[in-house]
């Protein structure tokens, strides 16, 4: 009987071990299960998009990132509950490579859906439709001659492109279409594919008379005609075509989610407003001609030179200071807050006096005083042991907004609750957010009481996020 009992116990032990082993294996399998593309985007907390920079898709104007693709992507990222990270590249073949190498999640440009492209990437449902048109220059002195004379000097029949030279963006749908057209008309069209120029740059070359012809999507061509009235864009060379975003072929999860959102969003007035804002807005010519339009001016603001002049004080990237200045005053030198802060850097009267400026001081003096304040705050955090410059920048920005005292409170709270007092994201930032909660601002380690922590949290995020956009367009030097 004892032998049977011993065997039975051994049997139970073997069964228990097997159950534990199987359970561990199942747990490991669950952990090692490959995340699909949608899950991966949500886990990483960001949607990485590559787009092109031009007057419709993505640009900086008056210090703010703008553009048709940019606004749609922002709304999509909000829908997914993640941050948007934008990269710029006007080389289409490079965009496809970035997608295949998983350097981005989505190609967000005016991609024409074609069978050839569909072999390598997946497309979302169309975000818009257009047709391709020939861009050509009107004759000299076109304003002074009759419409009939102008028409007689322009190409209206596609057959008349025989023997002509057309410049197009390399590996674009325009290159594909013009090659097909050359076959269709049974004659040769000389096609020059440009690697380093995108469609709007080629349109400008036509307007200047440096090249004869290029091809563009009609909606983009019409926008550019407002900047360059000497170009003609009335000759269609294709049927209407669908434009969409490109995704990897690895799985359908992200595409399905985007399609559900896009299908619903396209039926809203918000979508119509965004489309009309960039493709049917007569004010766009004013934007492109402005000193605040980054693509043509190479500037963020009219105060760039002053920021660069005094940047030595803190040795930050001047574009980061420009982003802070935009956050504070939107580059308005006469801005004044309800609390009494004034000028480009929104200095409080006491602080301004300490750094030798007042309301009558020149904008450049206000900038210098603001940068000196940044340096003073930065030195405080160096002395407190935050050695990493990139990390310290976030503490300095937060302090510029809410004051050093509240940030020190958040550091003490973070340390008390087992977080790193020298790290901003997911550590001290978490407790600056909680400083509007009585449980936290009444804690004995807190010296400066209540503050609107969400405002400071967003302030830091928005400045750094805008700075990343500035880096996409504006050189550091």
Per-residue confidence of the chain (477 residues) as pLDDT tens digits?
455 555 556 555 666 555 555 555 554 444 446 889 999 999 999 999 999 888 889 988 878 899 999 999 999 999 999 999 999 988 888 999 999 999 999 999 989 998 889 999 999 999 999 999 999 999 998 988 899 999 999 999 999 999 999 999 998 999 999 999 999 888 789 999 998 888 999 999 999 999 999 999 999 999 999 889 999 999 999 999 999 999 999 789 999 999 999 999 999 999 999 999 888 876 665 566 566 566 666 789 999 999 999 999 999 999 999 999 999 999 999 999 988 999 999 999 999 999 999 999 999 999 999 999 999 999 999 999 999 999 999 999 999 999 999 999 999 999 999 999 999 999 999 999 999 999 999 999 999 999 999 999 999 999 999 999 999 988 887
Per-residue pLDDT, 30? 45
Q: Where are the domains of the chain?
A: 2-33, 45-127+248-286, 132-238, 304-473
- The percentage of the chain sitting over the pLDDT mark of 70, rounded to a whole number, equals 90
Dig out the tokens for 30 from the structure: 């669950």
Amino acid 188: pLDDT: 87
The architecture that CATH gives domain 45-127+248-286 is 3-Layer(aba) Sandwich (3.40)
- pLDDT tens profile 240-267: 999 999 999 978 999 999 999 999 999 9
How much is the pLDDT for 14? Answer: 60
- Name the pTM for this structure: 0.78
Q: Is 94 a catalytic residue?
A: no
Give the pLDDT of residue 242. 93
CATH class of 132-238: alpha beta
What are the residues facing 201 on neighbouring strands? none
Active-site residue, selected from the candidate residues 71, 85, 257, 328: 328
Q: What pLDDT, on the 0 to 100 scale, is given for residue 29?
A: 46
Q: Which CATH class is domain 304-473?
A: mainly alpha
173: how many CB neighbours lie within 10 A of its CB?
Answer: 23
Asked whether the domain spanning 304-473 has the same topology as the one spanning 45-127+248-286, the reply is: no
């Amino acid at each position: 009987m004892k032998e049977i009992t011993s065997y039975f116990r051994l049997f139970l032990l073997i069964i228990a071990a097997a159950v534990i082993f199987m359970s561990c294996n199942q747990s490991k399998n669950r952990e090692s299960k490959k995340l699909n593309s949608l899950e991966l985007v949500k886990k990483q907390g960001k949607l990485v998009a590559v787009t092109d920079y031009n007057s419709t898709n993505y640009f900086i104007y008056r210090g703010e990132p703008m553009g048709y693709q940019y606004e749609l992507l922002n709304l999509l990222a909000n829908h997914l509950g993640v941050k948007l990270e934008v990269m710029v590249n006007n080389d289409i073949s490079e965009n496809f490579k970035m997608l295949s190498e998983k350097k981005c999640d989505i190609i967000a440009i005016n991609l024409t859906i074609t069978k050839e492209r569909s072999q390598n990437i997946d497309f979302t449902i169309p975000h818009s439709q257009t047709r391709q048109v020939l861009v050509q220059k009107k004759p000299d002195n076109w304003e002074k001659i009759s419409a009939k004379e102008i028409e007689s000097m322009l190409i209206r029949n596609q057959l008349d492109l025989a023997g002509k030279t057309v410049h197009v963006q390399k590996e674009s749908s325009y290159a594909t279409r013009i090659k097909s057209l050359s076959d269709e008309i049974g004659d040769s069209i000389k096609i020059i594919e440009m690697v380093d120029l995108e469609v709007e740059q080629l349109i400008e070359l036509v307007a200047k008379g440096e090249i004869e012809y290029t091809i563009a999507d009609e909606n983009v061509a019409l926008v550019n005609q407002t900047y360059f009235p000497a170009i003609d864009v009335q000759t269609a060379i294709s049927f209407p075509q669908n434009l969409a975003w490109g995704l990897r072929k690895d799985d359908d999860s992200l595409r399905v989610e985007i399609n559900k959102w896009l299908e619903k969003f396209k039926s809203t007035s918000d979508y119509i407003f965004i489309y009309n804002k960039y493709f049917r807005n007569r004010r766009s010519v004013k934007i492109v001609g402005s000193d605040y339009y980054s693509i043509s001016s190479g500037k963020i603001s009219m105060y760039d030179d002053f920021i660069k002049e005094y940047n030595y004080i803190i040795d930050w990237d001047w574009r980061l200071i420009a982003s802070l200045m935009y956050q504070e005053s939107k580059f308005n030198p006469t801005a004044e807050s309800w609390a009494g802060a004034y000028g480009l850097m929104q200095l409080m009267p006491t602080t301004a006096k300490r750094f030798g400026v007042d309301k009558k001081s020149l904008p450049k003096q206000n900038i210098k005083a603001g940068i000196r304040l940044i340096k003073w705050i930065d030195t405080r955090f160096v002395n407190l042991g935050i050695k990493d410059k990139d990390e310290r920048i976030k503490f300095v920005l937060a302090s510029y907004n809410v004051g050093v005292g509240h940030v020190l409170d958040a550091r003490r709270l973070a340390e008390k609750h087992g977080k790193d007092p020298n790290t901003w994201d997911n550590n001290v930032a978490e407790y600056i957010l909680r400083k509007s909660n009585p449980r936290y601002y009444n804690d004995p380690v807190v010296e400066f009481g209540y503050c609107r922590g969400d405002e400071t949290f967003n302030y830091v995020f928005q400045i750094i996020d805008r700075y990343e956009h500035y880096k996409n367009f504006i050189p550091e030097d």
